[in-house]
Chain A
Amino acid sequence: MFKFLADFLPIIIVGLSLGSLFGLVGLAFTVIINASQLVNFAQGDFAMFGVAVCWFALTVLNVPLWLAFPLGVIGAALFGLLTEKAIITPLQRRGARPFTMILGTMAIGIIAAGAVGAYTKFWWMKINPFLGSEPWKLKKLPIDHQGVMIIFATVVLVIGYWVFLNKTRLGLALRATGFNRDVSILLGIQTAKMVGLSFLISGVISGIAGILCAPLSAFNAVQGLPLAINGFIAVILGGWGNPYAALLGGITLGLVRALLTGYLSSAYAEMATFFVLIIVLTLRPQGLFSRFMIPESKKN
């Protein structure tokens, strides 16, 4: 029994923390999708950029972690805002085709990856675990505190996002923009600013997720796009346009991958992701949890 638990518990923690990373990136995707019906292919690069700023602050500027962490998050948020100003708004004003918008966000991501890569020479940006490298012991079971911290942060972030969206006027304006842009303009909501705000929030969320997970997964400059792909798979797996479903989708994905890695081999885990995606796209294109936590009146 102890042997089973000693295997099982770390796998579940890894799965949940990996799933939280994918889920948070999926949530960040959904924030933008809900405000402007856009898919931001630079999403993973927001996280990567946050990690890069944090790493830079830690290793080059030698500032302590409690300062470097917010700096990284601010960096990711500003990068999100810059993306919106530099390419989303100009392309939208021109009435570009969706395929151009996809490439536009990808271009921003490539620029970030190229710039960070040129500085770091595409090496691993190493951030040590926040509470030291020694795991906690719970009755001799080792527990990875970084993983626990990620899970905890995910819960806090989602609750905070829910409160912001449902209990504040700004959140109401954001939801209204996504629901019907023309009517929102009539009601005096500055929809252009709301789109910018959605990029800012999504930068914050992916920045936090990226920096928290950086000690667990070796981040380098080109890791952004694969992360964005996994996050987007979480969105499709969960359900289009529903932030909580995206989170659940990400956690499902993380658990599947961790269980496969733990009990079979890591060779199959990543491949399984794509097969799961193809199967879900074919059999249940609306996603597995598309109705989760969405009030009755909004279903259509």
Chain B
Amino acid sequence: MVSRVKRDFIVLFVVLGMAAVLPLMVREIYLYLVRLIGIYAIMALGLNIFMGYCGQVNIGVAGFFCIGAYIPTVLQGKLGWHYLIAFPISAFVSLLVGWGMSWPLLRLRGHSMAIGTIAFAMAVYLLFERFPTITGGSDGTVVPAMTLFDQTMGNIFYYYLILVFFAVAFLICYFLANSQIGLALRAVRDNEEAAAAMGVDINHYKRLAWLVNGVLASIAGSLYAQQAGFINPDTFALSTNVLVLVMLCVGGPGTILGPVVGAAIMTILPYLLVKIQQYTLLMQGLVLFAVLRFLPDGVVGAISKRFRST
């Protein structure tokens, strides 16, 4: 066990170190891709805790993503608050919203839970779209640039900010997955009745996973808005939900590296394969179909299974 943790940490630090020196070497477009990978990986990591480990269904991540993107923007733009104050507030609001929504949503199972979470995401989306005086409505709104010590921060700063948050999110999920909590979550996934009989408080762990999922998605949203500089509600519509789900499935639900690998694949693939944006949706659908049909454990799951068997 110790050696495995040590190995994983060496891998993590090597990857982070390479990512940290990357801005010295490559062009801006690649840095943009890495930023997106980081943001989506944070979201997929949270979703992995709820779906991969706890076995529940959430097709409403974009709801939290939307909250995380809009609240700091509105607080900065309308009230002039500093980003570093507005950012934690949005994460806290997501925590509260997630806690409130956990009462109706977590009682559901399977299909009903899927539709309930979609409905939640749609409600949040409509909330931000239909009040144009505050949020800019469907035209979108400009995100004020962040200033620190009287200097406007650029893309390189956001790059490192995202990197730091990605590292923190990864460590949190790593320890959640490898601790007693992770064991309890997997017990809930595999057999709820048996887990309850063994003394696992099902509702408690479901809520915990749901909140981790929500807060991480909200953090990803705040980071996304800040680095993009412009948001409109369409960014957070159903396509984001689908994208994150595809990432998780491609990487492999229930594996710790899966979400990261999936986020990397699904961010880079559109840039390699299709130059025209109109084909992105078709490609996502085909990839999801192929993975579900031929690679049910995802890329990481299939590779680790291969290694274990030989």
A231 to chain B, nearest CB (A): 10
Q: Which residues of chain B from 98 to 126 have any CB-CB distance to chain A below 8 Å in the complex?
A: 103-104, 107-108, 110-112, 114-116, 118-120, 122-123, 126
Is A98 touching B111 in the complex (CB atoms < 8 A)? yes
Closest to A265 in B: B130
**Contact partners of A107 in chain B: CB under 8 A:** 285, 288-289, 292
Closest to B131 in A: A267
Q: Using CB atoms and an 8 Å cutoff, list the residues of chain A in contact with chain B.
A: 39, 41, 86-87, 90-91, 94, 96-100, 102-104, 106-115, 117-118, 121-122, 222, 225-226, 229, 232-233, 236, 267, 270-271, 273-275, 277-278, 281-282, 285
Given A110-B242, A110-B288, A267-B130: A115 and B116 interface contact (C-beta under 8 Å): no
Is B285 touching A113 in the complex (CB atoms < 8 A)? yes
Closest to A41 in B: B114
Is B104 touching A278 in the complex (CB atoms < 8 A)? yes
Given A94-B296, A104-B292, A277-B119: A226 and B238 interface contact (C-beta under 8 Å): yes
Residue-wise, chain B 266-310 has the 8 Å CB interface mask toward A (1 for contact) of 000000000000111111111011001100100000000000000
Among candidates A106, A115, A225, residue contacting B288 with C-beta atoms closer than 8 Å: A106
**Contact partners of A274 in chain B: CB under 8 A:** 119-120, 122-123, 126
Closest to B58 in A: A99
Tell me which of A99, A106, A122, A225 has the highest count of chain B C-beta atoms within 10 A of its own C-beta.
Answer: A99
Whole-angstrom distance between the alpha carbons of A122 and B281 in the complex? 11
Among candidates A87, A273, A278, A281, residue contacting B289 with C-beta atoms closer than 8 Å: A87
Closest to A109 in B: B285
Whole-angstrom distance between the alpha carbons of A281 and B120 in the complex? 12
Judge whether B51 is part of the interface by a CB distance below 8 angstroms: yes
Given A107-B285, A233-B119: A118 and B110 interface contact (C-beta under 8 Å): no
Judge whether B71 is part of the interface by a CB distance below 8 angstroms: no
Sort A-B residue pairs by CB-CB distance and give the 9 closest, nearest first.
A114-B282, A110-B285, A111-B285, A114-B281, A274-B123, A107-B288, A39-B111, A267-B130, A107-B289
Whole-angstrom distance between the alpha carbons of A207 and B5 in the complex? 54
**Contact partners of B171 in chain A: CB under 8 A:** none
Is B282 touching A115 in the complex (CB atoms < 8 A)? yes
Of the A-B pairs whose beta carbons lie under 8 Å apart in the complex, a sample of 25, sorted by A's number, is A39-B115, A87-B293, A96-B292, A98-B111, A99-B51, A99-B57, A100-B292, A102-B59, A102-B111, A103-B245, A103-B288, A103-B292, A104-B292, A106-B288, A110-B285, A110-B288, A114-B284, A117-B282, A118-B279, A222-B239, A226-B122, A229-B119, A229-B122, A278-B104, A281-B112
Judge whether B249 is part of the interface by a CB distance below 8 angstroms: yes
B209 to chain A, nearest CB (A): 14
Whole-angstrom distance between the alpha carbons of A106 and B239 in the complex? 12
**Contact partners of A285 in chain B: CB under 8 A:** 107-108, 112
**Contact partners of A98 in chain B: CB under 8 A:** 57, 110-111
**Contact partners of A278 in chain B: CB under 8 A:** 104, 116, 119-120
Judge whether B55 is part of the interface by a CB distance below 8 angstroms: yes
Whole-angstrom distance between the alpha carbons of A134 and B196 in the complex? 63
Is B296 touching A96 in the complex (CB atoms < 8 A)? yes
Beyond contacts A111-B289, A222-B239: 9 other A-B pairs, Cβ-Cβ < 8 A, are: A91-B293, A99-B57, A104-B289, A108-B285, A110-B284, A114-B279, A117-B282, A274-B123, A278-B119
**Contact partners of A106 in chain B: CB under 8 A:** 242, 245, 288
A297 to chain B, nearest CB (A): 27
Whole-angstrom distance between the alpha carbons of A278 and B107 in the complex? 11
Is A122 touching B278 in the complex (CB atoms < 8 A)? yes
**Contact partners of A41 in chain B: CB under 8 A:** 114
Among candidates B107, B130, B285, residue contacting A114 with C-beta atoms closer than 8 Å: B285
Whole-angstrom distance between the alpha carbons of A83 and B122 in the complex? 26
Closest to B119 in A: A274
Judge whether B134 is part of the interface by a CB distance below 8 angstroms: no
Is A281 touching B126 in the complex (CB atoms < 8 A)? no
Judge whether B127 is part of the interface by a CB distance below 8 angstroms: yes
Is B118 touching A282 in the complex (CB atoms < 8 A)? no
Whole-angstrom distance between the alpha carbons of A122 and B279 in the complex? 11
Whole-angstrom distance between the alpha carbons of A273 and B126 in the complex? 11
A280 to chain B, nearest CB (A): 10
Whole-angstrom distance between the alpha carbons of A94 and B127 in the complex? 41
Closest to A108 in B: B289
